[in-house]
Amino acid sequence: MTERSIKARLAEYAEQQAEWCRQRAAESSDPRSARSARGLLDVADYVREIEDEDPRLLRIEAVDLAPLGETGDTLRVGDGAQSLARAFRYDDPLDDPDALLTRFAAKMEADGSSLYADGRSLADIVSDLDSDDPMMALMSIRFVGEQAAGWEERAVGLARDAGWSWDRIATVLGRTRQSVWSKHRDGAGTTVIGGAMATTTRAARRVRAVLGAVPQPGFRHGHDVALTSPSTAVADGAQDTLEVAPAT
CA atoms within 13 A on the CB side of 207: 14
Residue of 6, 143, 17, 133 whose CA lies nearest to 79: 17
- The band of 222, judged by pLDDT with boundaries at 50, 70 and 90, is very low
What DSSP state is assigned to residue 47? H
* pTM score, whole prediction: 0.60
**Identity at 123, one-letter amino acid code:** A
Q: With CA atoms as reference, report the closest residue to 154 among 122, 188, 180, 205.
A: 188
Rounded-to-integer distance, Cα 156 and Cα 3, Å:
47
Each residue of 60-100: pLDDT tens digit? 988 887 654 455 577 888 889 999 999 999 999 999 999 99
pLDDT tens sequence across 186-216: 764 443 333 333 333 344 444 445 445 555 4
pLDDT in tens, 133-176: 888 888 888 888 888 888 888 899 999 999 999 999 999 989 99
**Whole-number pLDDT of residue 212:** 53
**Among the listed residues 87, 91, 129, 93, the one whose alpha carbon sits nearest the alpha carbon of residue 107:** 87
Q: What is the pLDDT of residue 83?
A: 94
Give tens-digit pLDDT for 50-70: 999 999 999 998 888 765 445
Computed from CA positions of residues 128, 133, 139, 145, in that sequence, does the dihedral angle turn out positive or negative? positive
Report the pLDDT value the prediction gives residue 70, as an integer from 0 to 100: 52
Burial (CB count <10 Å: 0-12, 13-18, 19+), residue 189: buried
Residues ≥6 apart with Cβ < 8 Å to 26:
none
- DSSP character at residue 96: -
Q: 104 with 60: CB under 8 angstroms? A: yes
Average pLDDT over residues 91-111: 93
Q: How confident is the model at residue 247 (pLDDT cuts 50, 70, 90)?
A: low
- Listed in sequence order, the residues at least 6 apart from 139 whose beta carbon sits closer than 8 Å to its beta carbon are 65, 112, 113, 116, 128
Band of pLDDT at residue 244, cut at 50, 70 and 90? low
42 vs 111 pLDDT, higher one: 42
What residues does each domain of the chain span?
6-118, 135-202, 205-239
pLDDT on residue 67: 56
